[in-house]
Every structure is written in C-alpha cells, then in structure tokens.
Structure 1
Amino acid sequence: METPLSILQRYWKHGQFRPLQEDIIRSALEGNDTLALLPTGGGKSVCFQVPALLRDGLCVVITPLIALMKDQVEQLQKKGILAAAVHAGLSRQEIDLLLNNALYGGVKFLYLSPERIQTEMFVARFKQMKVGLIAVDEAHCISQWGYDFRPPYLQIASLREIKPEVPVIALTATATAEVRDDIMEKLAFREDAKVFQKSFARDNLSFVVRKTENKDKMLLEILQKVKGSAIIYMRSRKKTQELAQWLGRKNISASFYHAGLSFEDRTKRQDEWIHNKTRVMVATNAFGMGIDKPDVRIVIHLDLPENLEAYYQEAGRAGRDGLRSFGVILYQDADLVNLQLKAEQSQPSPEYIAKVYQALANHYQLALGSAAGESFDFEVHTLAERFELSAIEVYNALKKLEEEGLIQFNESYYSPSTLHIPLNHTELYQFQVANARFDPLLKMLLRLYGGELFSGFMKISESYLARAMKLPEKDVVALLLHLHQLNTINYIPAKDKPQITFVLPRQDAARLPIDRERLEARKKLIMGKVKAVVDFTQNTFRCRMQVVQDYFNETTYQICGICDVCIGKRKQENTKAFDVLKEEVLMIMKARSLSVEELEQQVSPDDKELFVDVVRELVDEGRLEYDKTWKLRLAGNKLGAD
C-alpha cells in the first residue's frame, strides 16, 4: 500500500517531507480544495505531484511559465513518470497527439499554459479525460491585485463546471491576504477548502540594504566577505555582460545570463554555475525560476526590484540549505527616482496599446479574425525599428496586451526539434522501397529513436543524426524538410527565439477589447507596490523581515536579529563592546595584512555579526582597505601581504 512518504522516497529519494508539505498532500488526497502558500524553495511542486500519483486519473497542471513547465516535465520523465506539456509554442499536430495520449492513459501529468484552457481542442478532450486532480501553479496570477495578473487564469473555473467533483490545489510563493482571498473566490473553492501558509520569515536569511555612491567598490567588498555561490540581479542585458567581465578581471569567477542568449548558451552557463564551476551569476530576472541550487550564499540586487513579491522570490533563492545567507540591495538616490519613472512608463495608455497591436498585425500581415492560437518568432527591436517606436514602450504595451489576454509573449523560449511519423509501418516500408534516396535517413531515425516515432512527436537532434550518417548537418535538415513536404514525416525544427502567440483571433485595433477601468486600477496597484519597495529600501528603524511579513499580512512581534537594521540597533545598544572590538581589530592590523578569516581567528569574537559590522565600518571609514590579494591592511600601509 503506497503512502505519501513511500512515494517521496521512491521518486524523490528524500527521507522526510519539508514543513507543511505532508499536511498539504493529505488535504489534496482527502479531496479538499487546497491553497498552499510556501516561500521560494519550500517545495511546492511535490505538494501536488505526490497526491496526484496516489489518486486515480491524470493531474492537469496549469502554469504560465513555459520554461518551468518544460523543466518539471523533464524531471518527472527522468523519474519514470509519464508527463507532457501543452503550450502555445507547439504545432496543432503536436498538441493533438499529446492530448490523445492524455485521453487514453499515456500521461499522468498534463501541463498546460492557461491560454490552452480556452481552446476547443482541449475542452473537447478534457470532458472525456479521467482527471484526479487540478493543480494551479503561480496561483497569484489569477488575481488582478497580484503583481503578475494573467486574465486567462480566470478561465480555470470553467474546468470546475465540467468536472465539479475534481479537487483543485492552488500554489504560490507570494500572496497578500487580498490576493489569497481572490484566488479562492476566482477558483470557486468549496466552503470546506483548506489553506496552508508557511511563515514568510526565513530565520537564516539576512536582508541588507546599503546606500552607496560606488556600487562596484561595495560589491567587491561584499563578495570578498561572503564566500560561496552568488547571484547578482540587474535589469540591463548589456550590463550583465559588462559586470561579469569586470568581475573576471578582478579575479572573481563570473558569468552572465539573460533571455537574449541562445538556449545552448543559457544551458551551459546555468550548468557551470549550478556545479560551482562559476561562482557568480550576473543576470536579469529571466534567471532563477525553477532552479534548485541550495547553496547560494548571497543574492545581490544592483537595480531595485519592481515589487516586494519579486524581491522576496529572488532574494529567497539564497540559503535554501538552511545555512546563513544574505539578500542585499545596493542603491543610490537616483535609483529610487528611476524606479518610480519606469513604473509609470510601464503603464501605457489604451491608445498606445492599440497602436502596438496594430503594428503587430501589420508586421505579420494578419487579416481580421485570423491567427487564433498561432505563434510567431518575435524580436521587440525589429518591430520597434520597423514602425519607428520605442523598444521599451513596445515591450510595456506587449505586457499589457498579455495581461488583457490578447497575446502571449514569451521572452525566453526554446523548443527542440521534434518529429513524428504519421504513416503506419506498411505505408512507410512502401515509401522506402519507392524512394531509395530517403531510405538511409528513415532507417537511421528508426534505429536511433525507435517505434515511438509512430505514436507521438519525439525530440530529435539533427547534429546527432548527421554524425551517425556521416553527412553534413545541413544536408540532413534538407532531407527532413523534403520528407515533411511529402507528408512522410511531421518535422518541426527547433525554435530559439522569443515567441508571440495570438491567444484570440486578430482583433480590430480600433475596437480592441481592453478593460480601461482595470488598466487604471492596475496602474494604481503597481505604483503602490513601487512605494512599498521605496519604503523598504529607505527603512532604517524596523526589522526588515518584519516589514516583509507585514507586507504579506503576517502579524509578528518577533525580530529576525540578523538584518542590517537589527544589527545596527544591537550595535547602538552595545556601543562600548563595538568600540572595544574596533580598537582590538586596529591593534591587530598594525602588525600585518590579514584576510577577513585570519582576522576573525585572531580576534575570536563572541558576536560574529558584530565583528563583521566592525570590519565593514572600518572599511567604510577608510581606516582599513583591501590590497590586491584581497587581504585587509591599515589604510596607507604599503606592506605587502604576508
């Protein structure tokens, strides 16, 4: 008799559940509608995957992030669990086959982007499917009071009308009380629904905010003091590369990551960082979602985050192993002004949104009523240049078109080449006999990928095929395309560009179905969230973890004791001990240069946090400085490092 723990041990190789996981799983197994609020790294996916494996029927999982969707499907498949993903980037043929497999028992987990829920193809199959559980990931997207509202999420409730007996489990890392209530209402939760919320407090994560006129200098000092793996978040793609190269010149191993890199580049850089071949990843917020790296010691924001939800998720990628870690913001006064300005620019007028929509329709030459569900390769700068628009304003308009459910915009998208043979074995053999030119390639396909090519789309590698056949890759691709044109195979080449998908048929831009009241309400909401970030940044009197908990409506009188505000207060309360420690450090440093670790060993402080703060203040005051080998010395002391 399988139990949740036996499932966890067999597939995940874990000996026990994390806090709240087992309670959430049991609620879902009992058939309750369940809302789970677990911080980043809390193990949300296990909370629906384990009960789904114990319930009859398949689990329909709705998530807006294609990259995360594909990652979870691959992880399940590696465990020997049948899983598939249906999203806007797939062809109609691929979707048709995947849904058939789900209908006839070939899939245990069916992942969907929310836009797929509205399609006739899915609804017709869903009515016939045996469904055991519906899981809604990133559930905050259903609320217009959330930071990432997605109107297609509102369609999820229609699934409940078709199968009212199927329980729903909704999961999110960040939700205010208002958003939490909205999730339960919009998903039509039953009265006996269960809510599980882990505290937003992280007792091992120290929030630190530093105002500085020299971010580079302070960044180097922080990376010297805090050893181990690090993430640095920036908004500019170009600046991620420049900073990574600059850190390299300072002998700090660093790489960069953003959505503009090729899939191969992103994968290589990510793997090198995960396996500690690279210490620091300098990235835009395209990096980090779904990455399970427990030993990140520090996350640094060199640009202010747009809201506290995003900051809590991003900073929360540090210290998942439970060891002391840091979430640091470095800012200048200009950053506060720029954040507010960018927030205002991110809320374009309905007229400008319609203008960008019309430009899209003209760009792809789409007739009214056409292109529903169709995806196109897309580059923001190409569209902006062609129609003489601002790239950043176009980007903001696209995000609003996405919020309004008109398009889906995937900035970082990769889909490998896939292939399916629609013929039966006899028909294929007859084709091979009649067309000897294609026979070697077809035989090699079957040898490398097997009979599953007849039952569904399989991922293939053109370079692997080319090496096996000892042919140039371009020749193999040409043969595959020719076979596709002959309807002998269905061949879909890899995609590695951002994608625009028209969720609804092409509309008349002059009558675009935009909710103006909602746009105005969203603008007020966004500006309120920006104010919360500014207040968090400028706060110097209240425990930062307390501020975060309060933002998420979690009342607490407990302070963290490890954020910069708490340490500052402790220093004020213990001025004498601070001054004594300061003098002791300066006395020791007169003799020779020392690394921070060597200095700590010599001082052997009772309060290590106080020691770190003493060193930081002495560096800030210019009384201590780092030499070229990153050892501390008295300022002006030219003695080399020992």
Structure 2
Amino acid sequence: MQTAIQILQKYWKHDSFRSPQEEIINSVLNGHDTFALMPTGGGKSICFQIPALMKEGICLVVSPLVALMKDQVQQLQNIDIKSICLTGGIRSDEIITLLDNCEFGNYKFLYLSPERLQSDWILERIKNLPINLIAIDEAHCVSQWGHDFRPAYLKIANLKTHFPKIPFLALTASATKTILEDVIIQLGLEKPVIFQKSFERKNIAYMVFEVEDKFYKIEQILKKNPQQSIIYVRNRKSCLDITNQLQALGLKATYYHGGLSTKDKDKNMQFWMKEEVQVMVATNAFGMGIDKANVKTVIHIQLPENLESYYQEAGRAGRNGEKAFAIILTSPSDYVQAQSQFIAVLPDKKILTNIYIKLCNYFQIAYGEGINEQFSFNLNHFCQKYGFPILKTFNAIQFLDRQGILSLSQEYTEKITMQFLISSKEVIRYISLNPRDEEIIVTILRTYPGIYDMLTAFNLQLIAKKSNHSESEVQAVLLKLKEKEIIAYYFKNNDATLIFNEVREDERTINRVSKYLESQNQLKKEQFNSVLHYINEKKVCKSKLILNYFGEIATTDCGICSYCISKEKRPNDITLITEKIISLLKTQEMSSREIQKLTKNIEEDVIFAIQQLLENETIVIKPNNKYSLT
C-alpha cells in the first residue's frame, strides 16, 4: 500500500504536507471521528482524499456547494481518479446508473448534497456501497448557529447507524467555539479528535481606511503594490464599472461575476491566473477553489455581510507567506447602504409564504403536486409580475433553497433553438443564390439531421468551430435566415433554473421551516453588527478583533494593521498639522485632498492627523465626503 506522502507526490506533486494535514489523515486512518477547522487555503480536501485513496472502497463526500463539488470531481478526474457527483437536476434513471457505477465500477469518490440523503431510495443504495470514509464539507451548516444552516445536514447523523465503524471527518473554514460544539453534537461524532488551526495570518496586514474618494485610494494602492490583486464588489454593475475605470488609468484589469457565461468566466480567470492582468474585480462568486499564492492585495470597497465571509475572502491574499494586504475602504454612506443590502432585505414569514405560493402559481403547480419539476426562471420577470422587491425575493428563494424545498441553480445559459421551415430543395436553392452562407448552413444540416422536423437545441460555439467562422458570423446568418422566414429561431437567456424538491403544501411547508428563518435573521443582524464593530473600533488591533471573533485570545498586537501603524506613526509635527487643518476648516468644509494641497504636507501625515481629529471628535466627515469642525 502506498503511503500518504507517496500519494501526495504522485497525484498532487507536493513533497510535504501543510500542518496539520498529515495529523488529520492519520487520525482518519486510525478510525477516529475527526473535526478539522482549517482557515481558507489550508488544503481541507486533501485531508479526506488521501486517506480514501489509501483504503479499499469509496469515500462519501457531503457538501452543499454544487460548484465546489463539480470542481473537485473535475480535478480528480483530471488526475485519473474515478469520481462521481450527484447534483440537482439529474433524472432518477441517471442517478441509478451513477450509483451502479459506484457499486460495481471501482469508483473512489461519491459527492452529493445533503438534500440527496433525504431520498430514502438513494439512502438505501448508499447503504450497499463499500464506504470507507464519510466527509462532511462546510460542516458549519450543520449548526443552527452557522451562517448557512441547512436542516438537511441534520440527516447526515443517520448515516452513523448504517456505518457505525466508518470514521466521520467534519471540515469547515469558519466556525466559532459554539458552532464547533454544536456540530459535534448534531453529527453524533464519537470522541472526535479536533484539529483547530489558528485563524491568525501573521503576514496579512488588515487595513480599514475611511476615505471620501474610494477610487482615488484604489489607484494609489494598486500603483504602490503592482502585484496580483482582487477587488471585491457587491454587484455585477460595479464589476464592469470599476474594471473600466481601472483600464482607463492604464491598469490591467478584468472582472468575474455569476452572470458571466462559463466561457467568459474561464477566459477572464485565465487572464488573471496567468498574470496577463493585475486586478480581478469580482463579486463573491469569485474565490471558490481559487488557490493563487502570490495575491498581494485584497480590497473590499463595500462592507462585507459577515466576518466569516470577509475572513475567507481576505485570506486569498498572501498564501505564499509574504506580506500582503486585506483592505476595507469605507465612507459615511456605507452603513446606510449595507443596512439596506443586508438587513432591510431579510424576508419575514409572511412574505416568505407569499413568495412561495406565488412561485407555485407562476409555474402552475397544483396543491399536492410539483415534486422534482424543473423550470427556467427569470427573477426580474417574476418580481415584476407580482410586485415583489427583487433582493428580498432573492433572499427568500435562497432560504427555500437552503431548506431543500427548492433548488436554485444560477448557472447562466444562453439557449438557442431552431428549425428549418422550408424544404431541403428550397434550402439548396437559397445556398446557390447565397454562396457566402453555404459553409455555415451545410455545417448546421450535417450536425443536426433532424432540424427539418422539430425545434432543435443549437450549439453556436460548435457550429462556429466546425464551419471555421466566428460566432458572430454564424449568428448573423441565422438572423438573416429568420428574417427571410427560412428558419424558426429562438434565443432565450435564462438567468436560473428552479427545481421543486417537494410537493406544494403552502403554509404547511413554510410553517415547518419558519423557526429557522427567525433564528437566521437574528444571526445575520448579529453578524452585521460584528462587522460594524470591526470597522468602527479604532483602539484595538484589527488582527486581534478577527481572532477574538473566532474565539482566539491574542495577547500581542500584530504590528502591521491600520491600527498598529497609526499607533506607531507619530509625525513630529502632528500638532502643527492638526492646527493647520482646524484653521482651514474654520473657513469652509474640505476634502482630504484639498486639505493636503493647502497644508502642503505628505498624504500619510495628513490622513493620520485627520484620523486623530476624528477620534477626538474635533472634526466630522459629512455625507458629501468633506470634513468640517464639530
């Protein structure tokens, strides 16, 4: 049998483990239930993949993140390790075939969502598999105190009765002490060996800057640190806007959000991974499975929703161990915006019930019906039809997704269907009169022989490649054929797919999960308040604040965060600068750039003096981002 290090070298090309990977692997190999709390980037997947490869049988991996499951399965398949993923939208007959492969095909990994374990027949099939390890990824979801609690996770504990001698490995990157203890109870782990790596990242300088011109500050940061960077924004429009502004300044940047096609996501990702561009401007859709060691700077230009998410996103900086920066830029209007983004959009029980009933009506699902039905779903159209606010509706549907009532797939697709409306003879006549279109039309006919008989799903990229034309050229021919009524041509941009996992039962369905909604709303409010505390606390080391949040006691300051730098940096003429600022503000309100220009001091000293005056409440910053005396 190969050793753990030999498998690591063979498949992952690494010569050594990161701490505490090897210890976790040994614990699992010794048959112990194990809990691994490892911050983002710690290499959690290795901890179950290697012991599973060392033992006979198949590893069952339970994860709520479809994108991550697909990514891990693809990576395993790329190195010739047989793996299968059971996601939503797969028909029952396909699932049976996949499970047959697991039972008889010498597969090593079966990935599935916790909701799949709620199907009795799937559970019966799993009981017949030669399971050698059960790994629970994102294990904080088991706890009602976790920021992404899913009741379906509670069913995992039932596996203990079927596989009493098989070790459980729970993994998460973000869990407070309360969550950790709750997960152990809910999963029924027996005397688990706990590995808890410190949340401290000594090489990351956590910075919070209150500025009136965020883009000006971004420009300064990126030009001072020209290495690979990520800028996190809250929405897709900001992705494009910030990218365009950076490009106008001569900075190389691209963007990434959930609405991009897979092709564009991969293309933009490769630009950044290969360092053809410096900056990736992204929503939180970017980051899953991203492991780039030399990211120098991660900038958030809006307040994060919670410190768990912020820690994970900030932790994408400095994985090579060199000094890196995690920066939040704030302005006075951020609190109001964040309140409206995170708190005001939380659905209560009444609106959740209303949205669920209207969804069923929208898709014409009768009471007691609808299980496993799948629909294309346009959120904007749905909200417009019923007068629902978009963000609150999206959060309600997301909640229903987490509870396993619905499955919302946000894999954006462009679907083309077409059919020839004239006979083949007439098509040949058209080609003779339009020889420039011949290659494309002939390619279509050869690729889709049934296209005369029925509406046929059409792959634009495939036809472009086969005919040696660009996609735009193919599309131009299709539009011309449609105008001449030679083809029926339909182009549909679906922004989501919605699957109903249960029969429709209206209030009965919602009543069952409403207690979770109330506790989740309360948790989100508390988490948001923790973010505000992190931002507004100006007398404590930022690294200490993060460690304290996760239950670690830090005895010394980090020495490199924005607080520590401001504490140590005491210009000799600070009193003189503050007097100048007070004198200037007696005449009128001013921005920091105007103050700097008139005082003729360097920017860092002016900002330090302004921060001192703000802390002493001598001056205030107005909504117009200008300073005035109190």
Indicate whether 1:126 and 2:126 are aligned.
yes
- When residues 619 and 543 of structure 1 are mapped into structure 2, their CA distance, relative to the original with a 3 A threshold, is closer
**1:109 aligned partner:** 109
Q: Equivalents in 2 of 1:462, 1:10: separation in Å? A: 39
Indicate whether 1:617 and 2:605 are aligned.
yes
TM normalised by structure 2 equals 0.79
Residue type at the aligned position of 2:242 = L
Consecutive unaligned residues in structure 2, runs of 5 or more: 417-444, 450-457, 472-491, 576-600, 611-630
Q: 1:358 Cα deviation (Å)? A: 1.2
Residues 233, 301 of structure 2: 8 Å contact kept: yes
Indicate whether 1:244 and 2:232 are aligned.
no
Deviation per residue, 1:442-498 (Å, 9 max, x gap):
99xxxxxxxxxxxxxxxx98855885699999xxxxxxxxxxxxxxxxxxxx99742
**1:215 aligned partner:** 214
Q: 1:620 Cα deviation (Å)? A: 8.0
- When residues 159 and 140 of structure 1 are mapped into structure 2, their CA distance, relative to the original with a 3 A threshold, is same
**2:317 aligned partner:** 318
Residues 260, 412 of structure 2: 8 Å contact kept: no
Residues 88, 375 of structure 1: 8 Å contact kept: no
Q: 1:229 Cα deviation (Å)? A: 0.9
Indicate whether 1:385 and 2:373 are aligned.
no
Indicate whether 1:138 and 2:126 are aligned.
no
- When residues 103 and 440 of structure 1 are mapped into structure 2, their CA distance, relative to the original with a 3 A threshold, is farther
Residues 361, 506 of structure 1: 8 Å contact kept: yes
**1:147 aligned partner:** 147
Q: Equivalents in 1 of 2:209, 2:146: separation in Å? A: 28
Q: Equivalents in 1 of 2:277, 2:567: separation in Å? A: 36
Indicate whether 1:274 and 2:273 are aligned.
yes
Q: Equivalents in 2 of 1:530, 1:397: separation in Å? A: 18
Indicate whether 1:556 and 2:554 are aligned.
yes
Deviation per residue, 1:28-78 (Å, 9 max, x gap):
111111110111111011011111111221001111111111111111111
Residue type at the aligned position of 1:569 = K
Residue type at the aligned position of 2:359 = L
Residues 228, 279 of structure 1: 8 Å contact kept: yes
Residue type at the aligned position of 2:547 = Q
Q: 1:615 Cα deviation (Å)? A: 6.1
Q: What is the correspondence of 1:22-421 to structure 2 with a 5 Å cutoff?
A: 22-191=22-191, 193-412=192-411
Residue type at the aligned position of 1:539 = E
Q: Equivalents in 1 of 2:549, 2:208: separation in Å? A: 17
Residues 88, 374 of structure 1: 8 Å contact kept: no
Identity within the alignment, %: 39
Q: 1:303 Cα deviation (Å)? A: 0.9
**2:8 aligned partner:** 8
- When residues 188 and 462 of structure 1 are mapped into structure 2, their CA distance, relative to the original with a 3 A threshold, is farther
Q: 1:105 Cα deviation (Å)? A: 3.1
**2:434 aligned partner:** none
- When residues 259 and 370 of structure 1 are mapped into structure 2, their CA distance, relative to the original with a 3 A threshold, is same
- When residues 277 and 496 of structure 1 are mapped into structure 2, their CA distance, relative to the original with a 3 A threshold, is farther
Residues 272, 278 of structure 2: 8 Å contact kept: yes
Residues 354, 510 of structure 1: 8 Å contact kept: no
Indicate whether 1:547 and 2:535 are aligned.
no
Q: Equivalents in 2 of 1:564, 1:71: separation in Å? A: 36
Q: 1:384 Cα deviation (Å)? A: 0.8
RMSD of Structure 2 on Structure 1 (CA):
3.1
- When residues 468 and 283 of structure 1 are mapped into structure 2, their CA distance, relative to the original with a 3 A threshold, is closer
Residues 353, 506 of structure 2: 8 Å contact kept: no
Residues 377, 494 of structure 2: 8 Å contact kept: no
Q: Equivalents in 2 of 1:85, 1:410: separation in Å? A: 15
**2:453 aligned partner:** none
Q: Give 3-state SS (helix, strand or coil) of 1:296's partner.
A: coil
Q: Equivalents in 2 of 1:408, 1:567: separation in Å? A: 47
Q: What is the correspondence of 1:598-609 to structure 2 with a 5 Å cutoff?
A: none
Q: Give 3-state SS (helix, strand or coil) of 1:175's partner.
A: coil
- When residues 309 and 167 of structure 1 are mapped into structure 2, their CA distance, relative to the original with a 3 A threshold, is same
Q: Equivalents in 2 of 1:176, 1:273: separation in Å? A: 33
Q: Equivalents in 2 of 1:498, 1:322: separation in Å? A: 39
Residues 286, 412 of structure 1: 8 Å contact kept: no
Q: Which moved more, 1:306-315 or 1:357-366?
A: 357-366
**1:565 aligned partner:** 563
Residue type at the aligned position of 2:217 = M
Q: 1:415 Cα deviation (Å)? A: 12
- When residues 472 and 621 of structure 1 are mapped into structure 2, their CA distance, relative to the original with a 3 A threshold, is closer
Residues 37, 197 of structure 1: 8 Å contact kept: yes
Q: 1:239 Cα deviation (Å)? A: 1.4
**2:582 aligned partner:** none
Q: Equivalents in 2 of 1:293, 1:104: separation in Å? A: 38
Q: Which moved more, 1:91-100 or 1:385-394?
A: 91-100
- When residues 386 and 24 of structure 1 are mapped into structure 2, their CA distance, relative to the original with a 3 A threshold, is same
Q: What is the correspondence of 1:457-472 to structure 2 with a 5 Å cutoff?
A: 463-464=461-462
Consecutive unaligned residues in structure 1, runs of 5 or more: 418-438, 444-459, 474-493, 580-612, 623-642
- When residues 414 and 440 of structure 1 are mapped into structure 2, their CA distance, relative to the original with a 3 A threshold, is closer
Residues 261, 412 of structure 2: 8 Å contact kept: no
Q: Give 3-state SS (helix, strand or coil) of 1:512's partner.
A: helix
Q: Equivalents in 2 of 1:316, 1:472: separation in Å? A: 40
Q: 1:104 Cα deviation (Å)? A: 1.3
Q: Equivalents in 2 of 1:124, 1:390: separation in Å? A: 42
Q: 1:137 Cα deviation (Å)? A: 0.7
Q: What is the correspondence of 1:411-450 to structure 2 with a 5 Å cutoff?
A: 411-412=410-411
Residue type at the aligned position of 2:259 = G
Indicate whether 1:523 and 2:511 are aligned.
no
Residues 234, 301 of structure 1: 8 Å contact kept: yes
Q: Which moved more, 1:337-346 or 1:113-122?
A: 337-346
Residues 262, 496 of structure 1: 8 Å contact kept: no
Count of paired positions: 533
Q: Equivalents in 2 of 1:249, 1:465: separation in Å? A: 36
Q: 1:18 Cα deviation (Å)? A: 0.4
Q: Give 3-state SS (helix, strand or coil) of 2:333's partner.
A: helix
- When residues 516 and 32 of structure 1 are mapped into structure 2, their CA distance, relative to the original with a 3 A threshold, is same
**1:586 aligned partner:** none
Residue type at the aligned position of 1:546 = K
Q: 1:234 Cα deviation (Å)? A: 1.0
Q: Give 3-state SS (helix, strand or coil) of 1:278's partner.
A: coil
- When residues 80 and 462 of structure 1 are mapped into structure 2, their CA distance, relative to the original with a 3 A threshold, is farther
Q: 1:621 Cα deviation (Å)? A: 8.1
**1:537 aligned partner:** 535
